[in-house]
Amino acid sequence: MVLSSSSVESLQAGDSPFAAFTSQLLFAVLGLPLAYAASRVPVRVWKALAWPAVGLAAVLQLLVFSPLGDEVGGNRNWIYVGGFSLQPSEFAKLALAVWLGAVLVRKAPLLRDWKHVAVPVVPVAGGVLGLVLLGHDLGTGMVVMLVIAAALWVAGVPAKILLLPATALAAVATVMVLTSPNRMTRIGDFLSGECDPQGGCYQSAHGLMALAGGGVTGLGLGSSREKWSYLPEAHNDFIFSIIGEELGLLGTLLVLVLFGALAVGCMRVIRRHEDPFAMVVTAGVMAWVVGQGLVNMAVVLGLVPVIGVPLPLVSAGGSALVATLLGLGVVLSFARTEPGAPALLATRAGVVRRSLVVAAAPLSRRSA
């Protein structure tokens, strides 16, 4: 889909029609071995890496404000070194999920006291979130908020304690919207029934045109009309529209089903695993990948105002792809140690048979 949605604009820019596709393929070739390696890392190692990971994430996020940093689309969230670019906020999502798992599980008996939730969650997780928001990237900041909220919830923090930070974060997001003419325009266009399809609603209107034009079965791979420089960010934030145009309703439903299957897999690990650390980290990764995917699709469908977040595992973006694959590798490492999995993985049975037997394995009393 990256190849199909980007080829026309790549040619228009004087590049090869395979430019974006080749870049994405290279990052996939890098990310898949990293995911495989991460899936073989013992849980205890992830616990040990929690503090170094969040520390490195904070340092990298600080670098976006150095001479190495760069601003793209009004958001300062990139660093460039020797022709290589990196979006630190993508890796910060995973680092925060792992760190929150390690810290919250260690303080589990004390989480009903708001002071033990506030320290060190507010200065560390809030600090990383603050650095992301300082770069004016509200979309990524909202995904980071999802990661933090999911981890706190699964760790067992009472809802009444979560209410205060949720209110504070909502207030911060409101201030960022009110102080940004661009965001205010987007929300005004979304709420207005008279939005100009040639003005503020141009991108949303063409996204919906692409979805409508595909019908049930689509126009066929490579046959999109909107990718001919009509739909901005066709290979990135609005790639779901191109999927709908070329593969139709069936293609979009397939994407939705796949995200649903990923959510079911994550929920399985949360429900069955005996280690609370694995449960909390998996919740954070699930909120990040599945939550961001649902937000992206909601934007394309016009259910929420336009928010600049890509569709995980589908949209173009090297940092996002590698970070997401690495995060799923971490979850796979937990899945390999859930009840029944180690014994079955040691056998030579087929993948389907092993999966069915693991699924039938009884929950331990603690997991149940």
The pLDDT tens digits for 171-197 are 988 888 888 888 888 888 887 767 777
Phi, psi of 95 (to 5 degrees): -60, -40
Q: Look at the block and give the residue holding tokens 């504070």.
A: 168
- pLDDT level of residue 236 (50, 70, 90 thresholds): very high
Do the Cβ atoms of 227 and 206 come closer than 8 Å? no
Choice between 13 and 254, residue whose per-residue pLDDT is larger: 254
**Is residue 302 over pLDDT 80?**
yes
Q: What is the pLDDT of residue 367?
A: 43
Q: Does the pLDDT of residue 1 top 60, yes or no?
A: yes
Q: Does the pLDDT at position 359 exceed 70? A: no
Q: Across the chain, which distance is largest between two alpha carbons, in Å?
A: 63
Q: Is the pLDDT of residue 365 over 60?
A: no
Domain boundaries, the chain: 1-336
Average pLDDT for the chain: 90
The residue with greater pLDDT, 279 or 353, is 279
Torsion sign, CA atoms 288, 289, 295, 299: positive
Averaged pLDDT, 138-148: 94
The answer to whether residue 349 scores a pLDDT higher than 80 is no
H-helix or E-strand spanning residue 69: strand 69-72
- Per-residue CA distances from 217 to 206, 250, 301 (Å): 19, 6, 18
Question: What is the rounded CA–CA span in Å between residue 145 and residue 167?
Answer: 12
Instruction: Assign 357 a pLDDT band (cuts: 50, 70, 90).
Output: low
Most confident of 64-73, 219-228, 339-348: 219-228
- What is the structure's pLDDT at 350? 66
pLDDT at res. 361: 64
The confidence score (pLDDT) of residue 348 equals 59
Residue 366 pLDDT exceeds 90 = no
Mean pLDDT of 262-284: 96
Q: What is the mean pLDDT of residues 225-246?
A: 95
- Residue 59 pLDDT greater than 50, yes or no: yes
Residue 246 has pLDDT above 70, yes or no: yes
pTM across the whole model: 0.91
- pLDDT beyond 60 at 327: yes
Q: Looking at residues 99-108, what average pLDDT do you find?
A: 95
Structure tokens belonging to residue 211 = 């979805």
Question: Cα–Cα distances in Å, from 27 out to 69, 88, 138, 235, 254?
Answer: 21, 15, 25, 15, 24
What is the CB neighbour count within 10 angstroms for residue 232?
14
The whole-number pLDDT of residue 190 equals 81
Residue 198 pLDDT: 79
Residue 368 has pLDDT above 50, yes or no: no
- Residue 78 β-bridge partners: 70
- Which ranges of the chain does DSSP label H, i.e. alpha helix? 2-12, 19-39, 43-48, 50-63, 88-106, 114-134, 138-155, 159-178, 181-191, 202-214, 239-272, 276-300, 318-335, 341-345, 351-360
- 294: pLDDT strictly greater than 70: yes
Tell me, what's the pLDDT at 311? 97
- 115 pLDDT above the threshold of 80: yes
pLDDT at 89 over 80: yes
Do residues 133 and 59 touch, judged by C-beta distance below 8 A? Answer: no
pLDDT bin (cut points 50, 70, 90) of residue 67 is very high
